[in-house]
Amino acid sequence: MYIEFLLLLENSSELFFVFVHLIVSLLLSIVIFVFSYVLAIQNPETEKMSVYECGFEPYEGARKKFDVKFYVFAMLFVIFDIETMFLIPWSITLSKINFIGFWVMIDFLFELSVGFFYLWAAGGLNWE
């Protein structure tokens, strides 16, 4: 298998350059990783090991109650990020789609806006 791969690389210059690019990027990644580990000052402190944007201590018991507002915000971010995933292709092909495709997306945006304003009115975006 290895010899067949080398013969394929010799016969195709495009695959050879892909292989060279792969080797160079792999070596560069290893060098950067090793240098960052060797040259970095390893000085763990209690402040560095403290809680960072998670809302609860990371090494406590599994039965401790925690606040779910962090996860609610994460889910809301994903929902509105998916909206962007649908909006970008729609806006690019807007001149090529038909009447139904236009109004289906307008309906989607309307329903998403209604959901957003309901969430806002219900207090789902309040941090306290």
pTM of the model: 0.46
CB 70 within 8 A of CB 55: yes
Whether 14 is covered by a domain: the verdict is yes
Quote the number of domains for the chain.
2
Tens digits of per-residue pLDDT, 76-105? 888 888 888 888 888 888 888 888 988 998
**C-alpha torsion sign, points 86, 89, 95, 100:** negative
Whether 63 is covered by a domain: the verdict is no
Whether 25 is covered by a domain: the verdict is yes
Whether 44 is covered by a domain: the verdict is no
**Range list of H helices, 1-128:** 2-11, 13-39, 69-92, 99-122
Which residues are CB-neighbours of 57 under 8 A, at least 6 positions away? 51, 64
Whether 96 is covered by a domain: the verdict is yes
Tens digits of per-residue pLDDT, 37-81? 888 877 777 766 666 655 556 566 667 666 677 777 788 888 888
Whether 48 is covered by a domain: the verdict is no
Q: Could you tell me the residue range of the domain that residue 113 belongs to? A: 69-122
Whether 53 is covered by a domain: the verdict is no
